[in-house]
Amino acid sequence: MADEAQARPRGAPSVETARPAVDPARVEVIAPNFKRRLSGVTSTIVQLVPEQATSLGIATLGPGLPASLPALRWRQLLQLYRRPTARPFRIWHARRNIEMIAGLVMRDILRMPLRLVFTSAAQRHHKPFTKWLIRRVDAVVATSRLSGSFLEVPHTVVMHGIDTDRFHPPREPQDEFAASGLAGRHAIGCFGRIRHQKGTDLFVDAMIALLPDHPDWTAIITGRTTGPHADFAAGLEDKVRRAGLEDRILFLGEVEDIRVWYRRVSLYVAPSRNEGFGLTPLEAMASGAAVVASDAGAYRELIAEGETGTVVPAGDGDALREAIRPYLADPQATVEQGKAGIARVAEHFPLRREADGLAAIYERLWAGADR
């Protein structure tokens, strides 16, 4: 997701010894994170755990997380043989196969008092081994109706939410596009890692075709380019130079704070060819931008067609270009859809709603309803 760069603030220590100690007796839910590299799952944990911590005893376990999160240390694992003070068992909430495996080992081999919850965001049928693991957990969460359609076990849909204190419309002059010092009166953005899967090339092609007819608009592309995708990114920048639009289609790289750029764009484009869930449309809508997105991840379930944006077939560059065109032609209508997006996120996708949905599943497990 586009906010991945915020998962660990720059310069913050990632080692677990930098975190304050957590009393395992008070830990009711454990959110493991067994992948050091930043990912959408990591970002979900970073945003969600502080919200969950306001109403239950939760701790993370694993590397690559900010020191501000409550966290168990590896040496505390043996203390999990003791039940938590206020619950009959702890809940191990896994989001990856390796975390399910660890939970099964602790529950079934080490006989720790645990129950397992697994969240699936996959937009495809799981492989046989993953299906085998899923059949052995105690409760399954799907992040969208689409991801739930690929599950072969009972599940509950709990969609991701957004922290609207962090992602919000412009509130001060620095939030306005004019404060960027860039050319133009309006901005259109595409944020996230630069790679074929994310459809960055589709966005660039659309901008090369459209911007000559819309001189008031500037395109902003942010995000990391990792080694395997360096040639892909270089090719896009070269294409922009050859079109003579290097002052209108800007590659900003990995920015310090992506949130201010969401507030500066009037239109956000999410052109991914495939996604797990995909939070960037929600981040954009919460910030006041209209959204044009591909039919990838949960995008179709996030956007109200014709009210907060529009959705086109994934990988269809022509459809993407033509969907963007009317937004550039009518900036005021774009602003109105952005306002509608703010209201939609506030009503349907606040982070508290996600936390409450998960809490209801935990409570059913503790009450024995799912056993």
Confidence of residue 123 (pLDDT cuts 50, 70, 90): confident
Find all residues with CB under 8 Å of 115, minimum gap 6, and list them.
89, 90, 91, 92, 107, 138, 139, 365, 371
Please list the alpha-helical segments (H only) found in the chain.
40-52, 97-104, 128-134, 145-149, 200-210, 230-242, 258-264, 280-286, 299-302, 317-329, 331-348, 351-367
With 80 as the cut, is the pLDDT of residue 7 above it?
no
* Residue 364 CB burial class (10 angstroms; 0-12, 13-18, ≥19): middle
Q: What is the spatial distance between Cα 264 and Cα 284, in angstroms, rounded to a whole number?
A: 10
pLDDT digits over 151-189, tens only? 999 999 999 999 999 999 999 999 999 999 999 999 999
The answer to whether the pTM exceeds 0.75 is yes
As given in the structure block, the two tokens for residue 60 are 């993370």
Confidence of residue 36 (pLDDT cuts 50, 70, 90): confident
Q: What is the spatial distance between Cα 270 and Cα 295, in angstroms, rounded to a whole number?
A: 9
Query: By three-state DSSP, how is residue 106 classified?
Result: helix
| 78 secondary structure, DSSP code | G
Sign of the alpha-carbon dihedral angle for 244, 248, 249, 254: positive
Q: Which residue has tokens 């008070």?
A: 26
Percent of the chain past pLDDT 70, that is, above it, reads 94
Residue 228 carries which side chain, given as an amino acid letter?
P
Domains, the chain, ordered by start? 2-161+351-367 (3.40.50.2000), 173-348 (3.40.50.2000)
Confidence of residue 197 (pLDDT cuts 50, 70, 90): very high
With 80 as the cut, is the pLDDT of residue 6 above it?
no
Long-range contacts of 363-370 (CB under 8 A, 24+ apart): 364/139, 365/91, 365/115, 365/117, 365/138, 365/139, 366/87, 366/88, 366/89, 366/91, 370/138, 370/139
The full length of the chain comes to 371
Please give the radius of gyration of the chain, using alpha carbons only, rounded to the nearest integer. 22
With 90 as the cut, is the pLDDT of residue 299 above it?
yes
As given in the structure block, the two tokens for residue 165 are 């204190």
